[in-house]
Amino acid sequence: MSENTNKGAEGKIGKLLRLFARVSHAYLAMGQGIYYVLGGLWPMLGINSFQSATGPKTDLWLVRTVALLLIVIGMTLFTAGIRWRVTLEIFLLGIGSAIALTLIEVVYVVGGQISPIYLLDSIVESALAVWWLFIYVRGFSNPEVCALFDPTLTRSGQRGEHE
């Protein structure tokens, strides 16, 4: 009985992973971009509600600095996605910012310096990093995805001519 339950769970997890694998780099960049822009706008437009959710802050200039950087990163990711120009640099920006935010949040929550509520964001950030990595690995075996990294590649995987 537990063997059948395991197969059912693996089947559902496998289906979920296959679904994530079909999401293109462009859509992931757009989604992360929207998430970051909204996350950056919140403290910029409503610092009191932000502090109510995340705890009081002593250096509001630092909160605003991080918020503005999130907005810039988010706009860059979103723009690359909608232009279907997810290059290696955009991949590095997406996965790097997700990993950096995860590490900062986990280290400072464990150290007791920030509210445990940040662990919710670290879960999202970890998922984004894994998703980028998963799509990235898949991309180098799929010419259509590789074309997102190298715009000189056509959909057939052959180098195209610039006119």
Tens-place pLDDT, residues 118-132:
999 999 999 999 999
pTM of the model: 0.76
pLDDT band at 68; cut points 50, 70, 90: very high
pLDDT at 150 over 90: no
Who contacts 78 (Cβ-Cβ below 8 Å, separation ≥6)?
29, 30, 33, 34, 37
Give the closest residue to 160 by CA, choosing from 150, 148, 152: 152
The whole-number pLDDT of residue 13 equals 77
